[in-house]
Homo-oligomer: A and B are copies of this chain.
């Protein structure tokens, strides 16, 4: 599959690209195409040294949307609305959102938009035919990037589009030892997103690192 990553030079984008480019065509999108190309070259070299052939290219965010079957919105929540306002062409595409609206005071807390979650806001902002799937919300960016570490977390996948959900669950299950779990409709994304600030608090208050979770 062709997977376009909007904001692909960020932590999660970089991790996803590293973990997926040996089995899928990855288009790393960025507002700065040059930066995306540099990252793509680095990634190709990096994986090449490990004997892994990467299928990866740099692009603008718009090109990443246009070329992809699946678009991943690897965007910090605070840039989400402005980023989507600049992009078109999401019709009929599977759109994965790992976006978590989080704020921080003494502790991290869930700070959702009026819709209830970032995923539900994205549903409002994008064309009706786009197939929104919340996934990869609860994985530490640092873990994504350390290629030698296995990822053995549960990944909850929520969507109102059953086919899109199944496709994304297969994608999740193809990465390291991640285990996809059907979390139900997109409405449940509010819970999944809110788990991320809880994870950050658990790390902070219990002196743990790169906390993840597993349902079993």
* Residues in chain A within 8 A of chain B (CB atoms): 106-107, 109-110, 154, 156, 181-185, 187-188, 190-192, 194-195, 197-199, 201-202, 204-206, 208, 211-216
Contact = CB atoms under 8 A, between A and B. Distances in A.
Contacts of A204: 184
- This protein's copies in its complex: 2
Given A215-B211, A216-B213, A188 B198 contact: yes
Contact of A183 (B156, B202, B214): B202
A195 B199 CA distance: 12
Nearest to A169: B206
A202 B187 contact: no
B205 A107 contact: no
Contact of A194 (B156, B191, B202): B191
The 5 closest A-B pairs by CB, nearest first: A182-B205, A184-B201, A107-B184, A191-B198, A191-B194
B216 A214 contact: yes
A30 to B, nearest CB: 32
Given A198-B156, A213-B213, A205 B183 contact: yes
A167 B162 CA distance: 45
Nearest to A182: B205
A184 B213 contact: no
Contacts of A182: 201-202, 205-206
A198 B183 contact: yes
A168 to B, nearest CB: 14
A205 B156 CA distance: 11
Given A191-B110, A198-B156, A212 B212 contact: no
